[in-house]
Structure 1
Amino acid sequence: MKNKLTDLNNHLFAQLERLGDENLTPDQIETEARRGEAIVGIADQIVKNANLQLQAAKLAAEYGSSPEPYLPLLKGAGS
């Protein structure tokens, strides 16, 4: 998988930095605020999906199955 949760964290902080730019015009602030809302909405869904995968992995492990198939975000994490 190409994107990781750490990438999401970096995007969120980058957006926060853009919103904090003192040189933005009111129109630019509005544009960045709308972009920020969109990013937060997508980020929320990504986090919910990761949480669901974690819950599935925990349930599988609890009942004696391998949790790995339920954790696609970890596959290839070292690559």
Structure 2
Amino acid sequence: MKNKLSDLNNHLFAQLERLSDEAIDGDSLEAEIKRTDAIVAVADQIVGNANLQLNAAKLWAQHGSQIMPMLPKIGGGDG
């Protein structure tokens, strides 16, 4: 597995295709649904992290280094 959002997108679509397979049913379908739930939970965390990085980049672009004292956990100031 690679570590790009486009790879995550491909993985999610592949899982959707597995869920759409009309040939699976019963226990196989139940297992695929559980797998999907796990994949979605991890994907949500990845997307949330990417969103956090984007928001940090936007703050930096708008305010430069002067924003750092207000963000003590990542750059400076007391906290």
Same fold (TM over 0.5): yes
Aligned partner of 1:72 in structure 2 is none
- What is the CA-CA distance between 1:25 and the residue it aligns to? 2.7
Q: What CA distance in whole angstroms lies between the structure 2 residues aligned with 1:40 and 1:64?
A: 35
Unaligned segments of structure 1, at least 5 residues: 66-79
Q: Calculate the TM-score normalised by the size of structure 1.
A: 0.77
The ranges of structure 1 where at least 4 consecutive aligned residues each deviate by more than 4 angstroms after the TM superposition are: none
TM-score by length of 2: 0.77
Match of 1:4 in 2: 4
Deviations along 1:8-44, whole A, 9 cap, x unmatched?
0001000000011111131100000000000000000
Aligned to 2:46: 46
Q: 5+ unaligned residues in a row in structure 2: which ranges?
A: 66-79
Q: Work out which structure has the larger RCO, using CA pairs closer than 8 Å and 6 or more positions apart in sequence.
A: 1
Query: 1:34 and 1:26 mapped to 2: Cα distance?
Result: 13
- Report what 1:57 is aligned to: 57
Q: CA RMSD in A?
A: 1.0
Q: Percent identity?
A: 69
Structure richer in helix, relative to its length: 2
State the distance in 2 between where 1:33 and 1:39 align: 10
